[in-house]
């Protein structure tokens, strides 16, 4: 693979890529990390096609890409170690770009859009069981030497498990969100907004942290503060959870994000419906949430194997 070397991409193609990325941001609220990943994926594809055809390709040449050209790109990617999951992500970005480009330039993008993604085994979430989730919260509190930091870490992890928040969403709360209401208005990926019920345990954990925090609560400042008063970084919570995980003998999959998975799985086990869980998690697609049905089935099979007299 040639990589996304900009010298291999024609000015017209570079400009088109930039306009597409700007459109993603304006119309869909794509986050900077998402735009950066898409930029790299599509630039790599365009650079490959330039190399494949012997020089930078204008927009007219790009409209003539065939199924064989797409196969050559995918084969080249696989030969350099790109896994099936990563290649499927790259192909998705390329298809999105080409759909936009075809509309603007008036050509038929069938060869690109009909390219099938490689099959791969989707990784299922690895939730903690209820006892392990509770033990994780209790053990996180033991990792810090200062009481207020211990209370802070407990409050964050409780929000992950008790409300199903992403760690970025928990750390994105500000002083105006406290004291926590009965339900929080969360701005998630892509600017999607959702209402999340807040358990009393989560409110109490945040209240305890605020009582002990040495820094004043300011409406426009982060709710969760670092040791020196700045915004708390996710890696601090990740470190506290990793230390607790080792103490409890839990697997490496027991991460802060696993607490969010546990929230969803335990709701499903208790009879929650997928559509409601999708809304609580802020998933754009129900298919993302449906992964939890496989987790729940696996859990039921494990119980069956242990308990059934003929197992």
Instruction: Give me the helix-helix angle, 67-79 and 32-53, nearest 10°.
Output: 110
Alpha-carbon gap, residue 24 to 21, rounded angstroms: 5
Does 166 qualify as catalytic in the annotation?
A: yes
Name the catalytic one among 189, 208, 217, 299.
189
Name the catalytic one among 39, 152, 166, 261.
166
Does 39 qualify as catalytic in the annotation?
A: no
Q: How confident is the model at residue 117 (pLDDT cuts 50, 70, 90)?
A: confident
Q: E strand or H helix at 280, and its extent?
A: helix 274-281
| DSSP sequence for 71-83 | HHHHHHHHHTT--
Q: Is 167:156 a contact under the CB 8 Å cutoff?
A: yes
Across the range 228-241, mean pLDDT stands at 94
Supply angle C-alpha 68, 74, 76, rounded to 5: 100
pLDDT tens digits, residue range 191-231? 677 878 888 888 999 999 999 999 999 999 999 999 999 99
How many angstroms from the chain centroid is the CA of residue 263?
16
Name the catalytic one among 52, 95, 126, 257.
257
Does 208 qualify as catalytic in the annotation?
A: no
Does 189 qualify as catalytic in the annotation?
A: yes
Alpha-carbon gap, residue 72 to 39, rounded angstroms: 21
Alpha-carbon gap, residue 184 to 168, rounded angstroms: 15
Query: Which tokens go with 162?
Result: 């008790």
pLDDT tens digits, residue range 38-93? 899 999 999 999 888 887 777 888 888 999 999 999 999 989 888 888 888 899 98
Across the range 105-131, mean pLDDT stands at 78
Alpha-carbon gap, residue 136 to 220, rounded angstroms: 31
Say what the pTM is. Answer: 0.55
Residues of the chain with CATH 1.10.443.10: 130-307
Query: DSSP H helical segments within 164-255, as ranges?
Result: 167-171, 200-212, 234-248
Across the range 150-175, mean pLDDT stands at 90
Name the catalytic one among 245, 260, 261, 266.
260
Q: How far is CA 178 from CA 9, 12, 137, 156, 175, in A?
A: 50, 50, 21, 13, 6
In CATH, what number does 130-307 get?
1.10.443.10
Among 255, 280, 284, CA closest to 270: 280
């Amino acid at each position: 693979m040639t990589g996304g070397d900009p010298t291999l991409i024609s000015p017209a193609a570079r400009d088109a890529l930039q306009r597409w990325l700007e459109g993603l941001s304006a119309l869909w609220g794509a986050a900077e990390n998402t735009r950066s990943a898409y930029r790299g994926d599509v630039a790599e594809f365009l650079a490959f096609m330039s190399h494949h055809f012997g020089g930078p390709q204008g927009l007219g040449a790009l409209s003539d890409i065939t199924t064989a050209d797409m196969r050559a790109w995918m084969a080249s990617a696989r030969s350099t170690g790109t896994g099936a999951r990563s290649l499927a992500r790259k192909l998705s970005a390329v298809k999105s770009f080409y759909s936009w480009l075809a509309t603007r330039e008036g050509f038929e993008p069938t060869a690109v859009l009909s390219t099938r993604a490689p099959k791969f085994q989707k990784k299922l979430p690895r939730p903690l069981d209820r006892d392990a989730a509770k033990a994780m919260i209790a053990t996180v509190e033991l990792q810090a030497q200062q009481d207020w930091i211990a209370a802070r870490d407990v409050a964050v992890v409780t929000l992950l498990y008790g409300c199903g928040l992403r760690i970025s969403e928990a750390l994105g709360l500000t002083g105006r969100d406290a004291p926590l209401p009965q339900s929080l208005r969360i701005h998630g990926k892509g600017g999607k907004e959702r209402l999340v019920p807040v358990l009393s345990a989560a409110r109490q954990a945040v209240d305890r942290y605020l009582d002990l925090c040495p820094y004043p609560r300011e409406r426009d400042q982060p709710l969760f503060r670092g040791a020196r008063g700045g915004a708390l970084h996710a890696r601090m919570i990740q470190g506290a959870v990793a230390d607790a995980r080792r103490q409890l003998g839990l697997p490496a999959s027991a991460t802060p994000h696993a607490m969010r998975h546990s929230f969803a799985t335990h709701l499903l086990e208790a009879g929650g419906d997928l559509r409601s869980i999708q809304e609580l998690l802020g998933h754009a697609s129900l298919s993302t949430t449906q992964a939890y049905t496989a987790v729940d089935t696996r859990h039921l099979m494990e119980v069956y194997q242990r308990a059934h007299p003929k197992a």
